[in-house]
Amino acid sequence: MDRDGPSVQLGNGIEVACGDTRFFLDPRKVTEEGICCISHAHSDHMPSSFASGPIHCSDITLRCMRGRVKSMKSKTFLETVEMGDSPLVKASGAGHILGSNMFLLDAGQKVLYTGDFCPQDRLEMEGARPQKCDALIIEATYGNPRYKFPDRSEMIKVIRDWVEDMLDQERSVVLRAYPLGKSQELITMLKDFQPRLHGSVLETTQMVEGDDIRFDYLPFDPEHVGPQLVISSGGRGDNGLSALRKKCSADVSGWCLDTNARSLGRMGWGMDQGFAYSDHADFYEIMDFVKRCDPSVVYTHHGAEDTLASEIRKRLGIEAIPLKKEKKGQTNLGRYC
Ligand SMILES: [Zn+2]
């Protein structure tokens, strides 16, 4: 990159600066000191403090943040927050979860920030589309060559067939997934099996719903007699799940690739099955995305940033720099969704 290009560093989230213009990408604190962009409402990308200033995010992300913030001060802020309208920011779908966005910034040069992203269309969600840019800031959650996901439409068939088999055998099924994003995908792909939502999955789904989006489901009912399909985050103890007779359970996560069988490994204590179905790009999708964006420099963050940067340099011949936390508490990008 030439010397007049924007600077990119970790600080309040990821900070991009060019002259007097500053952008804060997934900042931990919303501020008026620059233009704040929030990619999606997973906790590791969401601010913990909303002091002042407009924010660039989707309507769904704002709705989820309103439901998720803890402090009353932040709730009050979010009720009245102005949505950003800077001509220097162009949002587009990231294909990760409902309402997730990428941002193309005009920072002297074109800078694309992906947040978490997935390029493959699936169910009712369009995948992220590459955009020509000078600098690309890209997530590295699965930024290691060992991560290659099975085709997601094939995995949807595999998950549906397994659920159908189990229910036909008069067994109840518990699918474990993140409450925001993956759970709503499962509800959509399995709607004809009448999914029942447990605990935080029910709360989160109700939070996401609005005039523009509705899902078909029932609340989990431990009194219900007979086999049923339950979607649960597994995060808050049992809460009635042990009452299910002849229960079988499965994880639905890209991390299932780390288990013995490549696409159908066992995952987690007490799980009967694992399905490697992810709402992130895998390593090969990341590489293809980088190539098609054709940047002169790539910044990697959030996961295997060193490995990914090294592979981008080696395989694509593009300068790549890992964005890494240098001091304790410098960034909130520490937990992966
Ligand atoms: Zn995420």
pLDDT tens for each residue of 305-334: 999 999 999 999 999 999 987 655 444 333
Q: What is the pLDDT of residue 52?
A: 86
Q: Look at residue 318 and tell me if it is in a domain.
A: yes
| Same structural domain, 247 and 305 | no
| Same structural domain, 136 and 191 | no
Q: Considering the entire predicted model, what is its pTM?
A: 0.91
- Tell me, in angstroms, the distance from the centre of ligand 1 to residue 205's CA: 16
- Tell me, in angstroms, the distance from the centre of ligand 1 to residue 46's CA: 10
| Same structural domain, 197 and 228 | yes
Q: Residue 170 above 80 pLDDT?
A: yes
| Same structural domain, 141 and 156 | no
Q: Look at residue 169 and tell me if it is in a domain.
A: yes
| Same structural domain, 57 and 119 | yes
- Tell me, in angstroms, the distance from the centre of ligand 1 to residue 141's CA: 9
| Same structural domain, 106 and 41 | yes
Boundary of a domain, candidates 275, 304, 331: 275
Least confident span in 10-24, 233-247, 301-315, 320-334: 320-334
Q: Look at residue 332 and tell me if it is in a domain.
A: no
| Tens digits of residue pLDDT in 53-102 | 899 999 999 999 998 888 888 888 898 899 999 999 999 999 999 999 99
Q: Look at residue 139 and tell me if it is in a domain.
A: yes
Boundary of a domain, candidates 240, 275, 310: 275
- CATH value at residue 54: 3.60.15.10
- Tell me, in angstroms, the distance from the centre of ligand 1 to residue 79's CA: 23
| Same structural domain, 205 and 270 | yes
Q: What is the pLDDT of residue 243?
A: 75
- CATH value at residue 169: 3.40.50.10890
- Tell me, in angstroms, the distance from the centre of ligand 1 to residue 170's CA: 35
Question: Which pLDDT band, with edges at 50, 70 and 90, does 1 fall under?
Answer: very low
Query: Where is mean pLDDT largest: 10-19, 72-81, 218-227, 262-271?
Result: 10-19
Quote the tokens at residue 141.
């959650």
Residue 273 CB-half CA count within 13 A: 17
Residues in the chain, total: 337
Q: Residue 336 above 80 pLDDT?
A: no
- Tell me, in angstroms, the distance from the centre of ligand 1 to residue 96's CA: 7
- Tell me, in angstroms, the distance from the centre of ligand 1 to residue 151's CA: 20
Q: Residue 270 above 90 pLDDT?
A: no
Domain that holds residue 49: 7-146+280-322
Residue 238 backbone dihedrals phi, psi, to 5 degrees: -80, -50
Q: Look at residue 285 and tell me if it is in a domain.
A: yes
Q: What is the pLDDT of residue 268?
A: 55
| Tens digits of residue pLDDT in 272-286 | 888 999 999 999 999
- Tell me, in angstroms, the distance from the centre of ligand 1 to residue 41's CA: 7
Q: Look at residue 141 and tell me if it is in a domain.
A: yes
| Same structural domain, 122 and 240 | no
Indicate the Cα dihedral angle 197, 198, 200, 201, nearest 10°. Answer: -30
- Tell me, in angstroms, the distance from the centre of ligand 1 to residue 40's CA: 7
Q: Residue 265 above 50 pLDDT?
A: no
Question: Which pLDDT band, with edges at 50, 70 and 90, does 167 fall under?
Answer: very high
Number of folded domains that form the chain: 2
Average pLDDT, the chain: 89
CA 337 to CA 333: how far, in whole Å? 10
Q: Residue 155 above 90 pLDDT?
A: yes
- Closest by CA to 98, choosing from 13, 218, 190, 181, is 181
- Tell me, in angstroms, the distance from the centre of ligand 1 to residue 247's CA: 29
| Same structural domain, 200 and 291 | no
Boundary of a domain, candidates 248, 275, 302: 275
- Tell me, in angstroms, the distance from the centre of ligand 1 to residue 266's CA: 23
| Same structural domain, 107 and 233 | no
| Tens digits of residue pLDDT in 109-137 | 999 999 999 999 998 899 999 999 999 99
- Tell me, in angstroms, the distance from the centre of ligand 1 to residue 76's CA: 25
- Tell me, in angstroms, the distance from the centre of ligand 1 to residue 248's CA: 27
- Tell me, in angstroms, the distance from the centre of ligand 1 to residue 278's CA: 11
Residue 82 CB neighbour total at 10 angstroms: 8
Q: What is the pLDDT of residue 13?
A: 96
| Same structural domain, 129 and 220 | no
Q: Which residue has the higher pLDDT, 243 or 9?
A: 9
- Closest by CA to 42, choosing from 254, 325, 332, is 332
- Tell me, in angstroms, the distance from the centre of ligand 1 to residue 333's CA: 11
Q: Look at residue 126 and tell me if it is in a domain.
A: yes
Q: What is the pLDDT of residue 235?
A: 58
| Same structural domain, 11 and 142 | yes
- Tell me, in angstroms, the distance from the centre of ligand 1 to residue 44's CA: 7
- Tell me, in angstroms, the distance from the centre of ligand 1 to residue 13's CA: 14
For 16, the enclosing helix (H) or strand (E) is strand 13-18
Q: Look at residue 327 and tell me if it is in a domain.
A: no
CA 42 to CA 256: how far, in whole Å? 20
